[in-house]
Amino acid sequence: MNMTTPIEQREFRIVGKSVKRDDVLEKVTGEAQYTGDIKLPGMLHGKIKRAAIAHARIKAIDVSKALAYPGVKAVLTHETVPRVLHYGSPHPRSASCTRDQYILDDKVRFWGEGIAAVAAISEEIADEALDLIEVEYEALPAVFEPEDAAQPGAPLIHDVGPGGNLVLDPVRVSRGDIDKGFAEADFVLEGTFSGGRPHPAYMEPNVCIADWDGSNKLTFWTSTQTSFMVRGILAEVLGLPLTKVRVLVDHMGGGFGAKQDLFQHEFLCALLAKETRRPVKMEFTRHETFVAGRSRHPCRIWLKQGFKNDGTLVARDMKLVYDSGAYGSHGPGVTIVGTTAATSLYRCENVRLEGRCVYTNTPINGAFRGYGVVQSYYALDIQMDEAAERLGMDPADLKLKNVVRAGDIAPSGHPIIGHGLEICLQHGVDVLDWKALWNRDRTPDPKRPHIRKGWGIGCEMHGSSAYPGIKEQGNATVKINEDGTVTLLTGAAGLGTGAHTALAQIVAEELGVRFEDVGVIHGDTDVVPWDIGAFASHTTYLVGTAAKMAAGKVRAAVLERAAMKLQVSSDEIDLCDGKVFVTAEPDRSMTVSEAMGPSRGIPAANIVGNGTYEPTKSYSFAAHFTEVDVDTETGIVEVKRVVPVHDVGRVIHPIAAQGQIEGGIQQGIGHTLTEDYLIDKKTGRSLNAGLVDYKMPLSMDMPDIETIILEAAPDPGGPWGAKGVGEDPIIAIGPSIANAIHDAIGIRFHHYPITPEDVLKALREKGA
């Protein structure tokens, strides 16, 4: 429906400018209150006893010693908490989740799963009491790899679901005629690809505080991207009406998608507080963010594509297997999105895709920036480079020939708007003089003969919303005060991305007031309008449009009232920078404050505007051009330079958009080269659940990044054509690095992370 709406062209006062973020001062001074900073009188501290076995029945659990330990106020086990089967990832109106979790169960499904919880007067005492809980297990055979879990006769991890350790029935997507496509092909490429288990490692560990008042109402502070989902599922599982659950979240130290589940500790914290009638805080250690948090789904991909000799793609056959870990969480959504994404990126009329998601006895994998697409596009983009090599073509030429364009059907089923990907790719080719780069002399520097340089290109597209998997809705309420200042009420969480600043810019621009005059109230489910959560790169696109709608209504009402006071018709006046003036006589004016305030017996106005927006989807695009150095003696790959070219439609806040791109590249470099959360394949124990041995790149490791943001293909579904940017950068960087490594040393890697040992081993096998 929004596809036909033309994009308004105008001069902008605030949109497109890097205004100062409203939270910057309190963050740099350390005054910003995060959930972990909150201390309530009488507050207890909760800790979770975690299983030291990957798959078992709990035969007996004895908490008597823990309960008797001085300072311990309550202990909960599967015998004493409500037994309610619930969705770990609670998206309403969504088919893409699986009801497979209990708060506590008598079965352990992964090493590190919570099996009991303690509340005590201090964190230390709670921690010490955990050691006093005695558990007797009946060990069950465990499976740690999706291949093993999918074997007939493999031990079943759940009784629910389609069986065979499948999280959902296989996702099958078909377009055109695959057999006809392969019959027309001049050559066929076939390969298998795999991805590790990167972990988001957000700065702020998961944390929550529960407090029940005398009316049996629960107030719940938690670091979440989806406060209304937390409210809904807590209410459902605890048997409360929504009026009796209030969820609060102010500042957050990141989430990257992984903080949109309902976590075990959140239920347990609420229940411990209920039992003790005292506030209870639970905060993860860094170790717990790994074992009890959410990571990216490891995957195995088989990809076979048919090409014509002129580079035309005629057939794509692809099978993907995602490892869900011990519970479904976002496995269904990730499988659907990651699989259907492979219908697109590079045009192909004959496509057959099959995505599976399999339970294993490993920590839970969930939503994470790039949501299944990181995996599938890694395979697509590397095989595209292989096709170029086979054809003797410059990969830029082959990609330019095949990238999706306006009118092609996107994974969502909609025609793509604009030539975003083509323009990004062409722009990068032009500014880098790619032809010269690609045809350069590849002789190594005689002073450093062991260093080989390479350049690679990675392409991506990603939707700004979870449509059609979830029918989304964005809401905003805008109020104008009698002094002309404006308050925006939004449920959108602020993960640290600057989303609230962007929303305030949109409101100020649309309404006609100064940016500084807009305040944002967020993060209180009793106050702000319902919100679906901050995910799917959609906050600016979705909530931004709702905020623009709400601000537009307020603007109209302000103009009505000013017109009355100025004794003109409302279509004769305009509103800009907090001033209302007669368009034909700009000197005849009044401030918004004068328009809103009381005068001559007229009380001050009370103007409230609501906006509700139900979008479909827009796609953002990017091409990353990456230079690497490969040390052929150590196998170390160093990313030297990245030129990311992004189309994000209308840019609301350039520095914030650039920050998203740089951050995504940093995470993506880690995923491709150094980050992998390792699980022991014999015991299921975590091998590097901490930041000592889980190697994220740091500032010193960052290459030069020369970000280019184009407004190449604005989408009418977003405010003035704005689209998402949050997830895009992490998708394109991976294949650009893998392709650059090939350019440097002539070796194709089909997996990530590509470790120095992998590189050295491959070089030796090649006989270099």
Partner 1 sequence: MRRFDYYRAETLEHASRLLTELGDDTFLFNGGTDLLVEIRERLRRVRNVVDIKQIPGLSDITYDETRGLTFGALVTVGRLENLSLVRQQYPNLRAALASLGSIQVRNRATVVGNICRASPSADTIPPLVADGAFVHIYSRTDMRVVPIAEFFTGPGKTVLAKGEIVTGITVPPAADNIGKAYLKHGRRKAMELSTVGVAVSLAMDEGVCSDVRIALGAVGATVLRAPQAEAMLRGSRLDAATVRKAADKAMEECTPISNVRASADYRRDMVGVLTGRAIRQALETFA
Instruction: Classify residue 706 by its DSSP letter.
Output: -
- The least CB distance from residue 286 to partner 1, in Å, is 9
* Cα–Cα dist 390/383, whole Å: 10
Closest among 463, 470, 461, 472 to 537, alpha carbons compared: 463
Q: Between 130 and 532, whose beta carbon lies closer to partner 1?
A: 130
What are the b/e assignments for 463-479, b being 16+ CB within 10 Å?
bbbbbbbbebbbbbbbb
Number of residues that bind partner 1 (CB under 8 A): 25
Give dist(CA 178, CA 173) in Å, integer: 11
CA distance 323 to 605: 57
Q: Least distance to partner 1 from the beta carbon of 296, Å?
A: 19
Alpha helices in 73-158 (DSSP H): 123-130, 146-149
Q: Which helix (H) or strand (E) segment is 719 a member of?
A: none
Helix axes 373-391, 728-745, angle to 10 degrees: 30
Query: Least Å distance between CB 369 and partner 1?
Result: 21
Q: How many other CB atoms sit within 10 Å of the CB of residue 122?
A: 11
Q: Closest CB to partner 1 among 213 and 633?
A: 633
Is there a contact between 763 and 635 (Cβ–Cβ < 8 Å)? yes
> Minimal CA–CA distance to 359: which of 102, 193, 163?
163
Q: Which is nearer to partner 1, 67 or 678 (CB)?
A: 678
Q: How far, in Å, CA of 741 to CA of 626, rounded?
A: 10
Neighbours of 91 (CB within 10 A): 23
Give the nearer residue to partner 1 in terms of CB position, either 128 or 472: 128
Q: Which of residues 728-767 bind partner 1 (CB under 8 A)?
A: 756-757, 760
Amino acid at 761: K
Token digits of residue 112: 């590190």
Q: Find the shortest distance in angstroms from Cβ 114 to partner 1.
A: 18
Beta-bridge mates of residue 208: 222, 282
**Considering the complex, what minimum distance in angstroms separates the CB of residue 330 from partner 1?**
27
Selected from 8, 37, 62, 124, the binder of partner 1 by CB under 8 A is: 124
Q: Which helix (H) or strand (E) holds 218?
A: strand 218-222
Burial class (CB in 10 A: 0-12, 13-18, 19+), 172: exposed
Cβ neighbours for 157, distance < 8 A, ≥ 6 positions apart:
55, 109, 143, 149, 165, 326, 359, 360, 361
Cβ-based nearer residue to partner 1, 83 or 448: 448
Residues sharing a CB contact under 8 Å with residue 64, sequence separation 6 or more, in sequence order: none
DSSP designation for 667 = H
Binding mask 71-110 for partner 1 (x = CB under 8 A): ----------------------------------------
Taking the complex as a whole, the smallest distance from the CB of residue 755 to partner 1 amounts, in Å, to 8
Taking the least distance from each CB to partner 1, the nearer of 205 and 469 is 205
Please report how close the Cβ of residue 691 comes to partner 1 at its closest, in angstroms: 8
Is the CB of 130 or the CB of 337 nearer to partner 1?
130
Closer to partner 1 by Cβ: residue 226 or 674: 674
| Euclidean distance between CA atoms 564 and 560, whole angstroms | 6
Q: Contacting partner 1 (CB under 8 A), which of 40, 608, 678, 710?
A: 678
16: which 2 tokens? 């497109």
Task: Considering the complex, state which of residue 43 and residue 84 has its C-beta at the smaller distance from partner 1.
Answer: 43
In this complex, which beta carbon is closest to partner 1, that of residue 697 or of residue 735? 697
Nearer to partner 1, 526 or 633 (CB): 633
Contacts of 92 (CB under 8 A, 6+ apart): 229, 232, 532
Residues 6 or more apart from 206 whose CB is under 8 A from it? 223, 259, 263, 265, 283, 284, 288, 289, 292, 293
Cα end-to-end distance, the chain, whole Å = 58
Nearer to partner 1, 576 or 636 (CB): 636
- φ/ψ bin of 637: left (φ > 0), alpha (ψ from -120 to 50), beta (otherwise): beta
User: Of 352, 364, 290, whose CA–CA distance to 323 is shortest?
Assistant: 364
Selected binder of partner 1 within 105, 113, 128, 627 (CB under 8 A):
128
Question: What b-and-e string marks burial along 509-532, b requiring 16 or more CB atoms within 10 Å of the CB?
Answer: bbbbbbbebbbbebbbbeebbebb
Q: 365, 674, 736, 739: which one contacts partner 1 (CB under 8 A)?
A: 674
Please pick, from the candidates 23, 106, 127, 177, the single residue that binds partner 1 as defined by CB under 8 A: 127
Measured from the CB atom, is 127 or 408 closer to partner 1? 127
CA 121, distance to chain mean position in Å, is 36
Q: Shortest Cβ distance from residue 133 to partner 1 (Å)?
A: 16
Dist CA 467 CA 411 (whole Å): 10
Smallest gap from residue 698 Cβ to partner 1 (A): 6
Region of 493-501, 599-607, 631-639, 710-718 interacting with partner 1 (CB under 8 A): 631-639
User: Residues 6 or more apart from 511 whose CB is under 8 A from it?
Assistant: 478, 480, 486, 518, 551, 552, 554, 555, 558, 575
Residue closer to partner 1 by CB (options 569, 634) is: 634
Question: Residue 117: helix, strand or coil by DSSP?
Answer: strand
- Asked whether position 179 contacts partner 1 by CB under 8 A, the answer is no
What's the min distance (Å) between Cβ of 760 and partner 1? 7
Closest approach of Cβ 344 to partner 1, in Å?
34
Residues of this chain, 535-594, that bind partner 1 according to CB under 8 A: none
- Residue 67 three-state SS: helix
Residue 287 near partner 1 by CB under 8 A = yes
* Least distance to partner 1, CB of residue 750, Å: 21
In whole angstroms, the minimum distance from the beta carbon of 673 to partner 1 comes to 8
Q: Which residue has the tokens 């309190």?
A: 26
What is the C-alpha to C-alpha distance for residues 475 and 489, in angstroms, rounded to an integer? 9
Provide the minimum distance between the beta carbon of 51 and partner 1 in the complex, in angstroms, as a whole number. Answer: 17
- Of the candidates 79, 633, 704, 706, which one interacts with partner 1 according to CB under 8 A? 633
Q: Which stretch binds partner 1 (CB under 8 A): 120-128, 338-346, 360-368, 610-618?
A: 120-128
Task: Give me the least distance between CB of 694 and partner 1, in Å please.
Answer: 9
Which CB, 94 or 285, lies closer to partner 1? Answer: 285
What tokens were used for 328?
């479904």
The residue type at 716: P
User: Is the CB of 437 or the CB of 760 nearer to partner 1?
Assistant: 760
Contact (Cβ atoms closer than 8 angstroms) between residue 327 and residue 109: yes
Q: Which is nearer to partner 1, 546 or 673 (CB)?
A: 673
User: For partner 1, what does the binding mask look like between residues 681 and 720, x meaning CB under 8 A?
Assistant: ------xx-x-xx-x-xxxxx-------------------
Minimum gap (Å) between residue 123 Cβ and partner 1: 8
Rounded to the nearest whole angstrom, what is the least distance from the CB of residue 687 to partner 1 in the complex?
5
Find the part of the chain contacting partner 1 (CB under 8 A) among 121-129, 397-405, 600-608, 744-752: 121-129
CB of 378 to partner 1, least distance (A): 20
Question: Among the candidate windows 436-444, 582-590, 673-681, 735-743, which touches partner 1 by CB under 8 A?
Answer: 673-681
Region from 435-443, 528-536, 629-637, 654-662 binding partner 1, contact rule CB under 8 A? 629-637
The 635-664 contact track toward partner 1, x by CB under 8 A, reads -x----------------------------
Among 59, 634, 704, 766, binds partner 1 (CB under 8 A): 634
Nearer to partner 1, 207 or 367 (CB): 207
Instruction: Please report, as ranges, the residues that interact with partner 1 according to CB under 8 A.
Output: 124, 127-128, 285, 287, 633-634, 636, 673-674, 678, 687-688, 690, 692-693, 695, 697-701, 756-757, 760
